[in-house]
Structures are given as structure tokens and as C-alpha cells.
Structure 1
Amino acid sequence: MDATRITLLALDLFGSPGWSADKEIQRLYALSNHVGRHYRCIILSKRHGGQRMLLAPDYLLKTVQRNILKNVLSRFPLSPFATAYRPGCPIVSNAQPHCQQSQILKLDIENFFDSISWLQVWRVFSQAQLPRNVVTILTWLCCYNDALPQGAPTSPAISNLVMRRFDECIGAWCQTRGIIYTRYCDDMTFSGHFNARQVKNKVCGLLAELLGLSLNQRKSCLVAACKRQQVTGIVVNHKPQLAREARRALRQEVHLCQKYGVISHLSHRGELDPSCDLHAQATAYLYALQGRINWLLQINPEDEAFKQARESVKRMLVAW
């Protein structure tokens, strides 16, 4: 049995389905050769206008990608400057370092996932000391149209690994100048005392030189301490906190559910479909509300008002 075959079987990419070794290898090659057939395109509306395209893998491909994530990608070390897609690392970890800073510079990478190429993904897998043929097969299984598909479970981890050299270079450059740097997916944040144009030029140069990437110039933003400073949706002028209006709206939603009932509240908002199961819609809404409250409590775990709100939503879920 050759090294490629032995390694592919050892990686257990299908999750021990009980197939023969020959069938498992045959299915892997078929999947990697025709990966495009296993994606479904989903168009989502962005909050501030425009659309985002997600590529959702089917059950078979998603199973394989999750096992690649678990058995291969999770073994790579990540840059400490990368704060997204890390187990046990809440979004507040990206905002906390930038609290109480004189200025914050926010930069965004243009077409982040679409701009990460097949070759860059191949180079990530080639660092895993796997046979060359296995590296190529894994790369095909994680790419779509020679790029990184936004929606595949492997793409976030791969993007962090592709960006690792850039993170280390710009992070070291910032540290020597007393600048704080973090990156959350395609959002880069710099804070402290610095010349914003110098930082931006350095980032542009390194992105182009190391990765062939560029900045989305429309999303570049420099914010002084006298204005509201937000990092990945979290206000950081003092301690990490959700914006006041967002907190107020969330509190009001919980209050209205308690006062009028979930179904009445959803009906008043025009978010209830009478042709569908009302109980299922109300339950789904309560779980979503609970998730938003939990996210806020990640930012500020000692927020007593939202601790109480979380308990209220739990009671409503039990009642349903």
C-alpha cells in the first residue's frame, strides 16, 4: 500500500463510515475531482446594503472538511495577533487590547476569501509533512474555483494560516513602535500613537508582497478618542461594551416578549408567518434572542441586567 493511500485512510476523512479501504479511496478521489458539484450557492443580504455569496457544502463534503479541520488544520499553531476562529477565544478578545486608546485605525482586506488562491492553500497543507499527493487532494477538497469558498468549515482556519506570516511581520513591526495590532478575519485594527498613513502604507506593501492581497479603501477608518470607537461591533472608548442603542433595543425585545407574549410580539413586528408552525417560529426566535444575550455577556460578563434577561428568556423557552 503506497504512502498516499495509507495517509488518506489514516486521516479518517469520512469519519469511519464502515466502507472498504478501496471504496473510501475511490470516494475521496471522486469528491476531490468534482468538488464543485457538492456546493450550493446561498445569497445573503448585507446589513448595510449589498449581497454576500456563501457556498454551502453538502453533507458528504462538509463531513470530509470537518475532519480535515479536526485531523490536520487544528494541529497548526496560530499567530497570537489572529483572534477570529479560535476555540475558546470570544470576539471581545479582539476588542479588549484597543480599549482607552488615543486613536484607532481600522483596515479591511478586499474580497478576503475569494482572493486566497489554490496555491496559497496548497502551501498551508504542504507544511503538514504529508505526501505531496495528499497535500494536493486536501487542497482540492478545500477549494472551489481555485479559491477559498466562504461557507466551507475549513475556510476560516485556512485563512488564518495563510495570513500567519503577514500577522507575524506586521505584528512585530507594530510592537517595535508601541502600536497595538489585532486581526479578526479580514478586519485589521491598530491603536495607540502613530502616523496612520505610515501604518496604512506598511500594511498595503506587506499584503501585496507576501500574499498578493489589497485593502478595501472604502472601509479604511481612523477614529479619535473623542468619538465612539468600535472594534468588531464593540465600543472600546473605556471598557468593552455593546453600543447603548443596541443594548436598549435588546432589553426592549425581552420586555415586550414578557409583556405581550412571543407570538404577539413577532406578529406586531411583522415577522410571523401564519402559514408555518407558530410554536417553531417562536422557539427559533427565543433561541436567537438567547444567543444575542449570550454574545453581549461575553463582552461584559458582569452585566446584571442582561444576566436577568438571559434567565427570563430561559424561562420563556421552558414554558414553550
Structure 2
Amino acid sequence: MNRWNPNTYHKNGIEQGFNPDYLVTLVKSGNAIKSKRKPVIFTLAHLANCTDTQYSDLYAFVSRKGYFSESEPHYRTFSIKKRSGGNRIIHVPHPVLKIAQSWIARHILDDGDVHDCAKAYKSGESIIDNASPHCESEWLLKLDICDFFHNISERQVYYVFRKMQYSSLLSLELARLCTKIIDKRPNHRWNNNPKNYKIKEYSSDRVGSLPQGAPTSPSLSNIICKDLDETLFMLALESNACYTRYADDLTFSFNNTTRKDIVNFKRKVSNELIKYGFKINAKKTRIVAPGARKIVTGLIVNGPVPTIPRELKDKIKADLYYCKKFGVANHCIKNKYQSIIGFSNHMRGMISFVNSVDKKLALKYKKAYDELNLPTLIL
């Protein structure tokens, strides 16, 4: 990617015979983008050149047409088990689309304007940073946002890129590259009038949303939720509470309050979430009273510093021990894992979790894990 130099760009354009007025417009646009500290990109073809992909491929993704066959769709979808129970739907982008998304994430989104209370997907921060502010608190209110990524719309993504001064057309194209039509929804928020599109090939009667599994979704979710985070931060501040958000997990901690006050506070939070297009998952709402064990993003926060729960340590030790004693295949069958690869990735995830808190212990687990020679699936 060439460094933006408006004088050189204008000079080269004149030498190549481009209209001077058109070049002035482009230079102004380029300077506006550069003022936002973003890479200067004017068109989808320009983006294809930057990402080392084919324009025809990016065009197919943007137009949401069936360029790839059913055996090679834009996204591959599957589900994984959550530690907290239930399944999480993952949408893995086509390899070409993933290349473009990874470039967009790295060069455009990763240094986006994000609220201090957002702790996930930020370089240099971890689950410890999300849990630490709540240590030794008397009360906890834990909330989960329903279908977090899927309720962030293509329109919201479009405005992220427009605020970065990209043209309206390129902003639409970038938004399309970062979103997916998940399913048919009755709410007008997810429906379009195809006649509103100036480019017929881009017309669509449905609005896409962030796919969980795309490299761009984490940063976009944080950027888009900045105003929500500020609203919830101020709401917490007015109630002498502390607030952090880790992706779709909201945590509020309180001292010197009552359950009744927290229930009223939860109602206010719910109302604010609705304004931003979200709703609370009632099944995962938790009010944790004084004296009870308090866990935030998997870490115990009753003491002065976050600690790893004993049951997680015991689970990892048991899995490693029984795999070594009886064999990985037998252990997977007995514990009803769907595949050895799935079990392997599950183990890697647990060890990675421990590593974010206790690197010495994680190193011990990783040594035992490596001795099993388990296969892995890198997404």
C-alpha cells in the first residue's frame, strides 16, 4: 500500500490526462480520509489492489450474488459449545473474503475509537482487565446481550466507514464485505426497499448483520457500541457502580446498595439496550449478593485480584490425565465429544484462558497437552 502524498497524486493524475477538477475532488477526499488516520482508498478496485484480491471476487461478495457454488459459499456455518452452556453459531468467511476482512480489520478498524469500559478484542487487554474493577465488590449484576453480533446491522457498519470519510459507495461496499444476511426477520430494521439502490447489482431486500467468526466483527462491534458504553457508564456512575463490557457480557458492581435498587437499575439498563437495538437474555441475568462467590468472565473476584476457579483447574488436569491413561479417542467417546479435533480445540481454549491469568500454570498444562499430539483445526 503506497503512502498517501496529495501533491504526487495530483501531479501523476495530470500527467495521465485525468480531469483536473476530478483530481481536486479526489485529493480533497484523500486528505479527509488521511485526517482520520486511515488508509486512502477510493474504490472497490482500489481496495482489491490493496488486499491483493480480485475485484471480481470482492464485487461478488458485495452484491451478495451466488458467485460461488453452494459447495463453496461466502460463509461456512457451524456451531460450537459454550462454556456457559448452549451453542454458539460461527460463520467462517470464504478464504478470499477472509483475506479482505483481515486487511480491513488490521489497517482500518483495529485502532478504532473504543470506550475504556469495553475490554474485549483490545490489544493489551484481557479478561483480567474486565474482572479486576469488580474485585471485592459487595454486589454484582451480570447481564448478557441476546445475539450480540447478529443485532449489529449493515447500516450501523456503513456509518462507521462514512465517519472515517470514505465515500458513500465505498462505505456501502466495505459494510457489505463485513456483514452477512443471517436469516429472514420480520422487523423493518432488517428489511430494505431494493428500489433505493442506485446500482442495480447491489440491490437487496434484506439488511446484513455482523457474522460471528469474521475478522472484522470484533473491532466493529466495539466501535459501534461506544455510545452505548458511554450511556451505561454514566448510568452506573450515577448509581455509584462500576461497569465493564466484554463483548456481549455486561458487568456492574455495587457497594452499599440493596437488591431492590439493583432490580430497578437493571430495568434502566434494559431500556437503554432496547434503544440501541439490543435486548437482555433474561435466562442469563444474575444478581450476586454479598457473601456469595462472584465470577466475572470466568474469574473469581471475591478477593483483591482475579483468580482461576478450582473446578476449571481440576477439569483440565482430569482431561489431560485420562487422555494419557486411556487414550484420546476413548476419552472423547466417554465424554461425548463430537470429534477429537473439537476436543483438542476445547483444550487449547481452556489452556489459553488459564494463560491469560497464570502463565506458569498454563505452561505446565501446555507441556502435558503437547505430549498428546492432538490435531487442531485453525479457523
The TM-score normalised by the length of structure 1 is 0.80
Distance 1:43 1:10, change over 3 A: same
Amino acid at match of 2:218: P
- Give runs of aligned pairs for residues 207-286 of structure 1, distance below 5 A: 207-209=273-275, 211-238=276-303, 239-256=305-322, 260=325, 264-271=326-333
Distance 1:182 1:42, change over 3 A: same
- Give runs of aligned pairs for residues 52-201 of structure 1, distance below 5 A: 52-145=88-181, 146=207, 147-193=209-255, 194=257, 195-201=261-267
Distance 1:220 1:13, change over 3 A: farther
Counterpart-to-counterpart distance in 1, 2:227 and 2:321: 48
Counterpart-to-counterpart distance in 1, 2:371 and 2:262: 49
For each residue in 1:246-270, what CA deviation from the matched residue of structure 2 results, as whole angstroms up to 9, or x when unmatched?
2112223334456x3xxx3324414
Counterpart-to-counterpart distance in 2, 1:218 and 1:128: 38
Counterpart-to-counterpart distance in 1, 2:155 and 2:264: 30
Distance 1:225 1:296, change over 3 A: farther
For each residue in 1:186-240, what CA deviation from the matched residue of structure 2 results, as whole angstroms up to 9, or x when unmatched?
110000224212321221222222x122211221110023112111222211131
Shift of 1:69: 0.8
Counterpart-to-counterpart distance in 1, 2:62 and 2:345: 37
CA contact (8 A) 1:13 1:63 kept: no
Counterpart-to-counterpart distance in 2, 1:13 and 1:107: 43
Counterpart-to-counterpart distance in 1, 2:345 and 2:211: 28
CA contact (8 A) 1:121 1:162 kept: yes
Distance 1:292 1:67, change over 3 A: same
Structure 1: gaps spanning 5 or more residues:
18-23, 273-280
Shift of 1:313: 4.2
For each residue in 1:47-66, what CA deviation from the matched residue of structure 2 results, as whole angstroms up to 9, or x when unmatched?
56544332221111111111
Counterpart-to-counterpart distance in 2, 1:157 and 1:110: 19
CA contact (8 A) 2:323 2:331 kept: no
- Give runs of aligned pairs for residues 288-299 of structure 1, distance below 5 A: 289=347, 292-299=350-357
Structure 2: gaps spanning 5 or more residues:
1-17, 30-40, 67-72, 182-206, 335-339, 374-379
Counterpart-to-counterpart distance in 2, 1:51 and 1:292: 17
Shift of 1:271: 4.2
Matched, 1:31 2:61: yes
The TM-score normalised by the length of structure 2 is 0.69
Amino acid at match of 1:156: P
Counterpart-to-counterpart distance in 1, 2:95 and 2:163: 28
Distance 1:290 1:44, change over 3 A: closer
Amino acid at match of 1:229: K
Distance 1:245 1:12, change over 3 A: same
Distance 1:72 1:104, change over 3 A: same
The CA RMSD over aligned residues, in Å, is 3.1
The match for 1:203 is 269
Shift of 1:13: 6.6
SS, match of residue 106 in structure 2: helix
Q: Percent identity?
A: 31
For each residue in 1:70-122, what CA deviation from the matched residue of structure 2 results, as whole angstroms up to 9, or x when unmatched?
12112312111111111232222211211111011001112212211221111
SS, match of residue 107 in structure 1: strand
Counterpart-to-counterpart distance in 2, 1:293 and 1:88: 19
For each residue in 1:12-36, what CA deviation from the matched residue of structure 2 results, as whole angstroms up to 9, or x when unmatched?
576235xxxxxx4444323210267
CA contact (8 A) 1:11 1:71 kept: no
Counterpart-to-counterpart distance in 2, 1:287 and 1:190: 31
Shift of 1:134: 0.8
CA contact (8 A) 2:48 2:58 kept: no
Amino acid at match of 1:100: E
Counterpart-to-counterpart distance in 2, 1:114 and 1:288: 24
Distance 1:148 1:314, change over 3 A: closer
Amino acid at match of 2:126: P
Amino acid at match of 1:29: Y
